Amino acid sequence: MLGAGRSPASGAAARFATIKNPMLRFSTAGESHGEALMAWISGLPAGLTIDFAFMDRELWRRQQGYGRGGRMKIERDSAHVIAGIRAGQTIGSPIALRLENRDWKNWQQAMSVTEPPGEAARPVASPRPGHADLAGAIKFHLPEARYVLERASARETAARVALGALAKMLLRELDIEVLGHVIAVGGARLPDSTPVTWEGLRALAAKDEVLLGALDPTAEAAMKAEVDRALRTGDSVGGIFEIRARGLPPGLGSYINWDERLDAELVRAMVSIQAVKAAEIGGGVWAATAFGSEVQDPIHYDPGPHRFQRPSNHAGGLEGGMTNGEEVVVRGYLKPISTLRRPLASVAFAGREPVKAAYERSDVCVVPAAAVVGEAMMALTLARAVLAKCGGDSLYELRRNYQAYWQQVREF
């Protein structure tokens, strides 16, 4: 019975039950042509060594890819740490980062925090179909779409990639790896027979020249031809990226409540990326029209390594909203960018007369960049799931808890 005569051990158990669920929280601030982007993350354990060069390398990767516009020639993204890191290690405090917008010098008057922009205003007078312009202007009661696009812009994803690099550093300490690649650009697609290996994904991430981020050069050439076609015709193209994670134990996430399902968290994370309109776990889209006997991954048991095994991974490493120990595989489907050099019909904010949608400098294809953002969002989501399962205010404690859980899994 609890209460009178409670032993020291039961007291410890009672205290444990009230300990907060450590929650990795993060957010960003910043306008595309404002002074800087800011990123904030809280919940990373203390004692994590920060690889600053890796963070900047991830930011560089996000800036690459054939089909990007003139802006990427201006920016050299790099994360400047403002808080939360001491002598190259996390100390448990929230981490704040600042990423300079080099283009800001050309927008100081238009985007001034204090002064009216006057002649320099650069209003976006007619909303672009597919962009946040119209709904955003209505929602925030704004006279034109400059105010909207500045924050809706995918420039914001640079801040997410910096945070994702921190999450990757944490996962790396636990031997969890996250990498992605491009499956399709426009109508050009990686053949289904292309082997996707970790060596191949690592080599792709290590490249110093990025074309379209595909594992197969012939498919990549066909993807480039799709971008060239869009460049020629004043159009834009979308595509599909795939993110994989390996090294995860079974049992991250949960089937117990709808909002603890890790598959749902991952889909949300992917669809939160600008222009991503669908996400898929494993062979999810195909599975909807196949028979159950083809879709489910049979279960074997190998007494040697004492391990459950699957000959296939159509589930994409997630069953019942939990990791099942196989590789996690998620795909993001990007619609073509909404800013078109050959604009579609729209309506002027002022006067409501029919006009063409506004055009300003833009990218034509961002699928490889979106894949890097997808990696960041996957890493952040998985880091949160690991911390929710194993906790730990320090890396020392997290590692101890995580290893103990792995031990439990092996002994099952």
Shortest distance in whole angstroms from residue 294 CB to ligand EPS: 40
In whole angstroms, how far apart are CA 185 and each of 182, 209, 215, 268, 365? 8, 18, 13, 22, 8
Q: Does 32 bind ligand EPS (CB under 6 A)?
A: yes
Q: Interface with ligand EPS includes 362 (CB under 6 A)?
A: yes
Residue from 363, 377, 381, 402 touching ligand EPS (CB under 6 A): that is 363
Rounded least distance, CB 10 to ligand EPS, Å:
55
In the complex with ligand EPS, the residue whose CB is nearer, 160 or 331, is 160
User: For 122, left (φ over 0), alpha (ψ -120 to 50), or beta?
Assistant: left
Residue 128: closest CA among 142, 157, 149, 112: 149
Count the residues of the shown chain that bind ligand EPS, applying the rule CB under 6 A. 14
- Phi and psi for 288 in degrees, rounded to 5? -65, -20
227-235: Cβ within 8 A, 24+ apart: 227/66, 227/67, 227/185, 227/186, 227/364, 227/365, 229/186, 230/67, 230/186, 230/336, 230/364, 230/365, 231/67, 231/364, 233/342, 234/340, 234/341, 234/342, 235/336, 235/340, 235/341, 235/342, 235/364
Amino acid at 160: R
Nearer to ligand EPS, 337 or 398 (CB): 337
Q: Is 149 in the site for ligand EPS (CB under 6 A)?
A: yes
Contact, 187 vs 240, CB < 8 A?
Answer: no
Q: Which of 69, 117, 250, 320 binds ligand EPS (CB under 6 A)?
A: 69
CB of 320 to ligand EPS, least distance (A): 36
Q: How far is the CB of 91 from ligand EPS (least distance, A)?
A: 30
Among 292, 311, 361, 412, binds ligand EPS (CB under 6 A): 361
Is residue 153 a contact point for ligand EPS (CB under 6 A)?
Answer: yes
Compute the distance between CA of residue 147 and CA of residue 325 in angstroms, rounded to an integer: 45
155 binds ligand EPS (CB under 6 A): yes
216 three-class SS = coil
Least distance to ligand EPS from the beta carbon of 363, Å? Answer: 5
Measured CA distances, 375 to 44, 49, 284 (Å):
18, 20, 19
CB of 206 to ligand EPS, least distance (A): 22
Q: Applying CB under 6 A, which part among 16-24, 245-253, 356-364, 399-407 lies near ligand EPS?
A: 356-364
Q: How far is the CB of 33 from ligand EPS (least distance, A)?
A: 6
Binding mask 84-103 for ligand EPS (x = CB under 6 A): -------------------x
Q: Is 154 in the site for ligand EPS (CB under 6 A)?
A: yes
Report the distance separating Cα 51 and Cα 90, nearest Å. 11
Q: Which CB atom, from 75 or from 235, has the smaller least distance to ligand EPS? A: 75
Is-contact 327 315, C-beta < 8 A?
A: no
Is 364 near ligand EPS (CB under 6 A)?
Answer: no
d(CA 72, CA 158): 12
Decide: is 352 part of the binding site for ligand EPS (CB under 6 A): no
The Cα–Cα gap between 258 and 52 comes to 37
Our CB check for ligand EPS shows the closer of 32 and 346 to be: 32
Q: How far is the CB of 373 from ligand EPS (least distance, A)?
A: 9
Binding region for ligand EPS (CB under 6 A): 32, 69, 71, 75, 103, 149, 153-155, 158, 360-363
